[in-house]
């Protein structure tokens, strides 16, 4: 037996987010894209609606929901503004390491406060010299009495400028490579933390992206999540959980681009008829629809596997979903711009923004190439 | 204070209307159903009134077919405490008004909130008819509601025509029908959606309320309006186009 | 048939829609008795009703009816009409407010906001829009009296002058439990959207509330009302009272000028019965051009001031 039906709650959730997106996000998306400002008010509203920190368990007052709900939310948010989607959903990345690996006390201390107010957490893995090769990171953590002392730099950290808490991956000894990595929770106001300027990005300009430098930053030993050497595994299992929602954001963006293109194709007349009458346009739209459908199914399946705790299968399916949805959305957005012609290349219409925004999905949280490495390794292993 | 919010499930405003073959109504197969937007203002206003008075309950009530329960779920997810569903597929707004009046009597309602009209039938009849059946005062096109702290007196602002507003004082029990602009209805939050499942929806049949359907109006011959044909786009330099437009409005269309 | 029209008036003047209802019955060869509820000098009103074609005018007098109230109108009209054997009771725009209560007193149904009505073989049938005009339907009345209200601006107010014999009757408005404590803003100088002959409307491309002044300037020249699209209202550029469309007002002016309005289905529903539609939009592909009689593809910030100047020249 197999079933694809969403529950009434999930359908109501999607409906609610769609309304939020239509009324609150779409009308201002272009403004934030232009200015690069951080959408504090919208993030606060998303938090009030319960769209953030879904996985916090019910015994702490959270909703204890799964990845599928995150996927549903992100597809809808992605149809409004992918930059805001990233900003809204990145708490999951910051909190999953603790939720999946922390002690009850750590969860209470580092996660529960996120239910009380709309505060943000950032996930600090990537460095100036280590991106796809995350195991080679060089930020260093050293035990010193009751404390860990952190030194080094992180790069492309989402929401860094406004986060209250960082989940930092550092090495105790670079020679140990992936086996020498620790995961530490660092309060944003810790002495020695300094932030870079916001990056002036091509797309997703409503998200805040910066470098962070740690200069002899001290945190108590109780801030170590998991054991010494488990950091790399913690980072990877976290990314397994967040890839399907990230991919779903791209599916939503692709859906929006397609819908804009459909509307335009029915209105725009050339050769005395709507361009939607031409098979060249019709087939582009048909291909968009099929790709979007496929991407959504992969996201849902990956989320379902994670919610069933079938982690080995989920790891592979998350890679499929992320790789396919990111590349698919880039293609769909590019084709949507093509259907709009010259108008599509201007900021008068929303499709060029989607094209700039989805490009990042092929890069962050594991490039499309890294996803292919995960997939091909699974195919070729003995 | 038991605030009853009278709501209707209607086709979404984006719905493209299609007429049934026998012209007896509209096709509802592909329709997306929503809570009538004016009724959402009423739900929001009821939740705010309850918060202000720090006591009482908010009950959403609807008269409609099985699917109408989704509208009640939306109200519950927004924060209403309970819901009443009169399961009755009637197109007669007088029947609906009678059902609402009976429910409010049975459940000891102390005030009724509603939208000024449902966006499908655009009549604004149900709330006023209900008020008359209950012999309660009513005020419509309300853009502000202020209860006295005792919950007995209420002052509302009524939009009279266009830009004028009257401040009107009433006592409960009464019926208040809201217009747009009174508030920004909250979304049903995710915790709200999950909590709504645990709330009860009381179901009545028309016979439970001692009612039977005897329509007073007969609707027929539904038609789409004639398509407007695209006219002409003027051409040339903008100032010349404007001069041309004014000339045509005066000489050709004779409207200025 | 015994037809009664409950007249509406404001500031001592008959509302045009009441004359429209009376005149339309006249055109259909039907005698009408008009009801005027109020107190004090109502001569201008009764005079206009006679001009529109009312053969008889009943003035229901009571100090409590000086100002309009839902209950006062419903109570007083019912007290008088219940013994008159009324077969049809009609009213205009404001009727939408009190007619449902009056209908409840008679135990009958009511059809609001009708765009036409007709009498044939002793039976009244009305036509009225539903879904804000996305479609329309006919309505028959299965129990007498048949009650309906007519939308303003859909028929001519020019009638054949009739006798208009005035009879004054002491009214019984009963307890009016709603008290007008304060009148907040006066609509005296503004043209009411639903009754305006010309409407000039702005969309989100007006970019700010302040910019609506270019529409007001233009409107002032020709005595037009200013409207707005839902997008403009939701963006806070205009109050809701100005909104035209499905969750705003439905209008049928002689001339509707849409400035920077793309023409969403909800907006078109609210203004499609306008006699002449003019569209001014930068985007040549905007759907509004499909419905407009005249279109100018151009920036409204350039076009509207030129239009204002051109209309000024015309009005000399």
Contact C130 B122 (CB under 8 A): yes
Whether residue C14 is contained in a domain is answered as: yes
Q: Chains near A, with 3+ CB pairs < 8 A?
A: B, C
DSSP string, A17-54: HHHHIIIIIHHHHHHHHHH----HHHHHHHHHTT-S-T
Concerning whether A293 is annotated as a catalytic residue, the answer is no
What per-residue confidence (pLDDT) applies to B162? 60
Write out residues 47-86 of B within 8 Å (CB-CB) of C. none
pLDDT bucket at A127, cuts 50 / 70 / 90: very high
Interface contact C220, partner B, CB < 8 A: no
Phi-psi region of B186 (alpha: psi -120 to 50; beta: other; left: phi over 0): beta
* Residues C156 and C7 grouped into a single domain: yes
pLDDT tens figures, C56-111: 999 999 999 998 999 999 999 999 999 999 999 999 988 999 999 999 999 999 99
List the single residue in A with minimal CA-CA distance to B191. A50
Q: Which of C220, C165, C171 is nearest to C191 (CA)?
A: C220
Distance between CA A137 and CA A209 in Å, rounded?
19
- CA dist C239 and B180 (Å) reads 10
Note whether residue C286 is domain-resident: yes
CB pairs under 8 A between A and B: 34
Q: Does C8 share its domain with C108?
A: yes
Average pLDDT over residues C138-154: 96
- Asked if the C-beta of B32 comes within 8 angstroms of chain C's C-beta atoms, the answer is no
Over residues C286-312, the mean pLDDT reads 94
User: B190 and A63 in contact by Cβ < 8 A?
Assistant: yes
Largest CA distance in chain A: 79
Cβ burial of B78 (10 Å; 0-12, 13-18, 19+) is buried
Residue B127 DSSP SS3: helix
pLDDT of the residue at C254: 93
Q: Which of C106, C135, C170 is the last residue of a domain?
A: C170
Check whether residue C143 and residue C226 sit in a common domain: no
Q: What is the pLDDT of residues B174-227, one digit of tens each?
A: 999 999 989 999 999 999 999 999 999 999 999 999 999 889 999 999 999 888
Q: Is the peptide bond before B173 cis (omega within 30 degrees of 0)?
A: yes
- The Cα-based distances of C71 to A3, A26, B6, B176, C100 in angstroms read 57, 44, 21, 14, 11
Tell me what the pLDDT averaged over chain C comes to.
93
Q: What are chain A's domains?
A: 8-116 (1.10.540.10), 121-229 (2.40.110.10), 232-380 (1.20.140.10)
Residue A56's contacts (CB-CB under 8 Å, 6 or more residues apart) are A62, A63, A64, A95, A99, A111, A112, A114, A115
> In B, which residues are within 8 Å of C113 by CB distance?
122-123
Which C residues in the span 56-75 are in contact with B, Cβ-Cβ below 8 Å?
Answer: 70-71, 74
Out of A23, A27, A267, the one facing C285 most closely (by C-beta) is: A267
Cα–Cα distance for residue pair B176/B156, rounded to 1 Å? 8
> What is the mean predicted confidence (pLDDT) over C193-222?
93
Answer whether A266 touches B (CB < 8 Å): no
Q: How far apart are CA A225 and CA A102, in angstroms?
A: 5
Single out the residue of B97, B175, B172, B92 nearest to residue B130, CA to CA.
B97
List C-alpha distances in Å: C220 to B14, C93, C189, C199.
34, 24, 11, 11
- pLDDT grade, residue C191 (50/70/90)? confident
Q: How far apart are CA B93 and CA A262, in angstroms?
A: 39
DSSP one-letter code for B73: H
Identify all chain A residues contacting C235, using CB atoms and an 8 Å cutoff: 27
Evaluate whether residue C131 is within a structural domain: yes
How far is Cα B74 from Cα B69, in angstroms, rounded to an integer?
9
- Which CA distances in Å does A59 have to A51, A55, A107, A108, B128? 18, 11, 11, 10, 47
Rounded to whole angstroms, what are the CA distances from A329 to A201, A205, A293, A323, A337? Answer: 19, 18, 11, 10, 12
Same domain for C158 and C268: no
Residues 6+ apart with CB under 8 A from A43: A52, A84, A87, A88, A118, A120
pLDDT category at C309 given cuts 50, 70, 90 is very high
B189/A12 Cβ within 8 A:
no
Q: What is the mean pLDDT of chain A?
A: 96
Closest to A54 in 3D by CA, of A42, A71, A41: A71
Q: DSSP labels for chain C? A: --EEEE--EETTEE-HHHHHHHHHHHHTT---EEEEEE-S--HHHHHHHHHHT-SEEEEEE-GGGSS--HHHHHHHHHHHHTTTT-SEEEE-TTHHHHHHHHHHHHT--EEEEESEEEEETTEEEEEEEEGGGTEEEEEEESSSSEEEEEPTTSS---------EEEEEE--------EEEEE-S--TTSPPGGG-SEEEEE-GGG-SSGGGHHHHHHHHHHT-EEEE-HHHHHTTSS-GGGBBSTTSB----SEEEEES----HHHHHHHTT-SEEEEEES-TT-THHHH-SEEEES-HHHHHHHHHHHHHHHH-
Chain C contact for B140 (CB, 8 A cutoff): yes
B246 touches chain A (CB under 8 A): no
Whether residues C234 and C298 fall in one domain: yes
Collect all residues of chain C within an 8 Å Cβ-Cβ radius of residue A264: 285
| pLDDT value, residue B163 | 64
Select from A15, A23, A65 the residue whose CB has the most chain B CBs within 10 Å, as the one to mutate to test that interface.
A15
C285 touches chain A (CB under 8 A): yes
Min Cα–Cα distance to chain C from B101, Å? 12
Q: Nearest CA of chain C to the CA of B229: how many Å? A: 6
Could you tell me if C159 and C285 lie in one domain?
Answer: no
Report the SS3 class of residue B146. Answer: strand
pLDDT at B4: 98
Rounded Cα distance, B242 and A248, in Å: 49
Nearest to A49 among B189, B194, B197 (CB): B189
Count other C-beta atoms under 10 Å from residue A102's C-beta. 22
CB contact under 8 A, A48 and B73: no
Work out whether strand B175-178 and strand B111-115 pair parallel, antiparallel, or are unpaired: parallel
Q: Which residue of B has its CA nearest to A61?
A: B191
CATH number at residue C143: 3.40.50.620
Strands B138-147 and B153-159: antiparallel
What residues of A are in the C interface, CB distance below 8 Å? 23, 27, 264, 267-269, 348
- My answer on whether C38 and C158 are in the same domain is yes
Whether the model pTM is above 0.90: no
Optimal mutation site among C8, C10, C67, C70, interface B, most CBs of chain B within 10 A: C70
Domains of chain B: 2-209 (3.40.50.620)
Same domain, C224 and C286: yes
Nearest to B245, CA basis, from C260, C255, C177, A215: C255
Q: Is residue C260 part of a domain?
A: yes
Residue C301 domain-assigned (yes or no): yes
Residue-wise pLDDT for C102-142, tens only, equals: 999 999 999 999 999 999 888 999 999 999 889 999 999 99
CATH code for position C297: 3.40.50.1220
Residue C189 above 70 pLDDT? no
Is residue B41 within 8 A of residue B179, CB to CB? The reply is yes
% pLDDT > 90, chain A: 95
Q: What is the ipTM of this complex?
A: 0.93
The average pLDDT across A150-161 equals: 97
Cβ–Cβ under 8 Å, residues B12 and B28: no
Give the residue among C176, C155, C191 at the shortest CA–CA distance from C37. C176
- State the greatest distance between any 2 C-alpha atoms of chain B, in Å, as a whole number: 71
Q: Are residues C22 and C140 in the same domain?
A: yes
Q: Rounded CA gap, C113 and C125, in Å?
A: 13
Q: How many domains does chain C have?
A: 2
First to last CA, chain B: 55
Q: Which residues of C touch B140 (CB under 8 A)?
A: 70, 97
Instruction: Identify which of B73, B193, B197 has the shortest CB distance to residue A13.
Output: B193
One domain, residues C15 and C66: yes
> Which 18-77 residues of chain A touch chain B by CB within 8 A?
19-20, 48-51, 54, 63, 65, 69
Q: Is the pLDDT of residue A1 over 60?
A: no
Residues 20-39 of C with CB under 8 A from B: none
Determine, for residues C287 and A267 on separate chains, whether the beta-carbon distance falls below 8 Å.
yes
pLDDT of residue B230: 85
Is C239 inside any structural domain? yes
pLDDT (0 to 100) of residue A149: 98
Nearest CA in chain A to B74: A12
Catalytic residue among A69, A75, A352, A365, which? A365
Kindly tell me if the per-residue pLDDT of A117 is higher than 70.
yes
Comparing A267-276, B3-12, C183-192, which segment has the lowest mean pLDDT?
Answer: C183-192
In this prediction, residue C265 carries a pLDDT of 86
- Any residues with CB less than 8 A from the CB of C116 and at least 6 apart, and which? C126, C127, C154, C155
B79 interaction partners in chain A (CB closer than 8 Å) = none
Query: Considering only residues 288 to 307 of chain C, which have any Cβ-Cβ distance to chain B shorter than 8 Å?
Result: 289-298, 302-303, 306-307
Could you list the residue range(s) of the whole structural domain that residue C88 is in? Answer: 3-170
If asked whether residues C256 and C159 sit together in one domain, one would say no
CA angle C229, C113, C186 (to 5 degrees): 60
Q: Is C176 inside any structural domain?
A: no
Low-confidence residues of chain B: pLDDT under 50: none
Best mutation target, B9, B70, B187, to test chain A (most A CBs within 10 A)? B187
Nearest by CB to residue B164, choosing from C185, C302, C306, is: C185
Residue C214 lies in a domain: yes
Instruction: Name residue B166's beta-bridge partners.
Output: B158, C183
Q: What integer is the mean pLDDT of A30-46? A: 96
Interchain contact C169–A (C-beta under 8 A): no
Q: What integer pLDDT is reported at residue A305 of this predicted model?
A: 96
Would you say residue C187 has pLDDT above 60? no
- The verdict on B174 touching C (C-beta cutoff 8 Å) is yes
Burial category of B108 from C-beta neighbours within 10 Å (exposed 0-12, middle 13-18, buried 19 and up): exposed
Contacting residues of B for C104, CB less than 8 Å apart: 94, 97, 128-129, 132-133
C152 and C197, same domain (yes or no): no
Å between C284 CA and nearest CA of chain A: 9
C267: Cβ contacts below 8 Å, ≥ 6 apart: C229, C230, C244, C245, C246, C261
How many residues appear in chain A?
Answer: 382
Give the model confidence (pLDDT) of C248-291 as tens digits.
888 989 999 999 999 988 899 899 889 999 999 998 889 999 99
What residues of B are in contact with residue C193 (Cβ under 8 Å)? 162
Rounded Cα distance, C261 and C263, in Å: 6
Residues 163-182 of C with CB under 8 A from B: 177-182
Domain finish residue from C135, C170, C205: C170
Sequence-distant (6+) residues with CB within 8 A of C253 are: C153, C196, C197, C198, C199, C225, C274, C275
The DSSP output letter for B185 is: P
Q: How far, rounded to the nearest angstrom, does the alpha carbon of residue C114 sit from its chain's CA centroid?
A: 10
Does position C190 have pLDDT exceeding 80, yes or no? Answer: no
Nearest-CA neighbor of A222 among A110, A99, A111?
A: A110
Report helix, strand or coil for B37: helix
């Amino acid at each position: 037996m197999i079933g694809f039906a969403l529950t009434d709650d999930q359908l109501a959730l999607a409906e609610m987010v769609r309304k939020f997106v239509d009324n609150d996000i779409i009308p201002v998306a272009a403004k934030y894209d232009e200015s690069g400002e951080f959408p504090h008010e919208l993030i606060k509203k998303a938090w009030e609606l319960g769209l953030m920190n879904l996985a916090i368990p019910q015994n702490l007052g959270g909703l204890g929901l799964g990845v599928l709900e995150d996927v549903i939310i992100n597809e809808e948010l992605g149809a409004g503004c992918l930059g805001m989607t990233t900003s809204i959903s990145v708490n999951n990345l910051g909190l999953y390491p603790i939720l999946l690996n922390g002690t009850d006390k750590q969860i209470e201390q580092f996660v529960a406060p996120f239910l009380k107010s709309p505060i943000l957490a950032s996930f600090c893995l990537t460095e100036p010299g280590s991106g796809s090769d995350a195991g080679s990171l060089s930020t260093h953590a050293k035990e010193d009495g009751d404390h860990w002392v952190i030194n080094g730099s992180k790069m492309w950290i989402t929401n860094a400028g406004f986060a209250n808490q960082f989940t930092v991956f550092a090495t105790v000894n670079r020679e140990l490579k992936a086996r020498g990595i620790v995961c530490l929770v660092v309060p944003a106001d810790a002495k020695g933390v300094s932030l870079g300027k916001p990056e002036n990005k091509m797309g997703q300009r409503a998200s805040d992206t910066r470098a962070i430098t740690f200069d002899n930053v001290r945190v108590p030993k109780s801030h170590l999540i998991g054991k010494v050497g488990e950091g790399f595994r913690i980072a990877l299992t976290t990314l397994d959980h967040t890839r399907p929602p990230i991919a779903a954001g791209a599916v939503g963006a692709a859906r929006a681009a397609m819908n804009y293109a459909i509307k335009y194709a029915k209105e725009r007349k050339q050769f005395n008829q709507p361009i939607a009458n031409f098979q060249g346009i019709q087939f582009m739209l048909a291909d968009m629809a099929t790709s979007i459908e496929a991407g959504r199914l992969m996201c849902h399946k990956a989320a379902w596997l994670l919610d069933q705790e079938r982690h080995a299968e989920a790891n592979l399916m998350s890679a499929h979903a992320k790789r396919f949805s990111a590349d698919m959305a880039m293609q769909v957005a590019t084709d949507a711009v093509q259907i709009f012609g010259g108008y599509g290349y201007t900021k008068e219409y929303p499709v060029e923004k989607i094209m700039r925004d989805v490009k990042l999905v092929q890069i962050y949280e594991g490039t499309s190439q890294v996803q292919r490495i995960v997939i091909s390794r699974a195919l070729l292993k003995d | 204070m038991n605030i009853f919010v009278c709501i209707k499930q209607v086709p979404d405003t984006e719905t493209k209307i299609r007429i049934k073959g026998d012209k007896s109504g509209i096709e509802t197969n592909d329709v997306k159903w929503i809570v009538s937007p004016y009724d959402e203002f009423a739900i929001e206003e009821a939740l705010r009134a309850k918060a202000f008075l720090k006591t009482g309950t908010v009950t959403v009530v609807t008269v409609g077919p099985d699917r109408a329960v989704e509208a009640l779920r939306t109200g519950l997810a927004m924060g209403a405490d309970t819901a009443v569903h009169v399961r009755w597929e009637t197109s007669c707004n007088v029947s609906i008004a009678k059902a609402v009046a009976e429910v409010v009597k049975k459940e000891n309602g102390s005030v009724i909130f509603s939208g000024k009209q449902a966006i499908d039938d655009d009549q604004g009849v149900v709330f006023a008819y209900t008020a008359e059946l209950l012999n309660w005062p009513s005020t419509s096109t309300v853009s502000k509601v202020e209860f006295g702290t005792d919950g007995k007196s209420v002052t509302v602002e009524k939009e009279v025509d266009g830009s004028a507003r009257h401040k009107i004082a009433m006592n409960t029990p009464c019926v208040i029908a809201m217009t747009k602009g009174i508030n920004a209805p909250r979304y049903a939050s995710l915790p709200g959606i999950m909590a709504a499942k645990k709330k009860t929806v009381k179901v009545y049949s028309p016979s439970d309320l001692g009612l039977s359907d005897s329509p007073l109006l007969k609707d027929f011959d539904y038609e789409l309006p004639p398509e407007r044909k695209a006219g002409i786009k003027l051409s040339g330099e903008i100032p010349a186009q404007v001069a041309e437009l004014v000339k045509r409005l005066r000489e050709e269309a004779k409207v200025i | 048939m015994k037809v009664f029209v409950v007249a509406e008036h404001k500031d001592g003047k008959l509302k045009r829609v009441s004359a429209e209802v009376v005149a339309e019955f006249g055109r259909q060869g039907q005698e009408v008795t008009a009801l005027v509820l109020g107190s004090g000098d109502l001569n201008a009103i009764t005079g206009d009703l006679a001009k529109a074609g009312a053969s008889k005018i009943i003035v229901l007098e009571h100090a409590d009816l000086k100002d309009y109230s839902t209950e006062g109108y419903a109570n007083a009209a019912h007290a008088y009409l219940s013994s008159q054997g009324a077969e049809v009771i009609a009213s205009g725009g404001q009727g939408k407010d009190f007619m449902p209560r009056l209908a409840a007193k008679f135990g009958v149904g009511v059809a609001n906001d009708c765009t036409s009505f007709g009498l044939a073989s002793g039976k009244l049938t009305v036509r009225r829009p539903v879904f804000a005009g996305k479609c329309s339907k006919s309505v028959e009345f299965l129990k007498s009296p048949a009650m309906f209200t007519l939308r303003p601006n859909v028929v001519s107010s020019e009638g054949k002058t009739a006798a208009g014999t005035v009879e004054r009757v002491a009214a019984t408005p009963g307890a009016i439990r709603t008290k007008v404590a304060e009148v907040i803003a006066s609509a005296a100088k503004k043209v009411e959207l639903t009754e305006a002959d010309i409407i000039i409307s702005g969309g989100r491309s007006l970019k700010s509330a302040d910019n609506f002044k270019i529409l007001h300037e233009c409107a002032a020249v020709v005595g037009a009302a200013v409207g707005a699209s839902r997008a403009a209202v939701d963006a806070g550029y205009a109050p809701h009272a100005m909104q035209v469309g499905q969750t705003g007002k439905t209008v049928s002016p002689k001339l509707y000028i849409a400035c920077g309005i793309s023409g969403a289905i909800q907006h078109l529903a609210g203004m499609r019965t306008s006699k002449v539609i003019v569209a001014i939009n930068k985007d040549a592909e905007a759907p509004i051009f499909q419905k407009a009689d005249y279109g100018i593809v151009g920036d409204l910030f350039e076009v509207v001031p030129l239009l204002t100047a051109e209309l000024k020249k015309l009005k000399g």
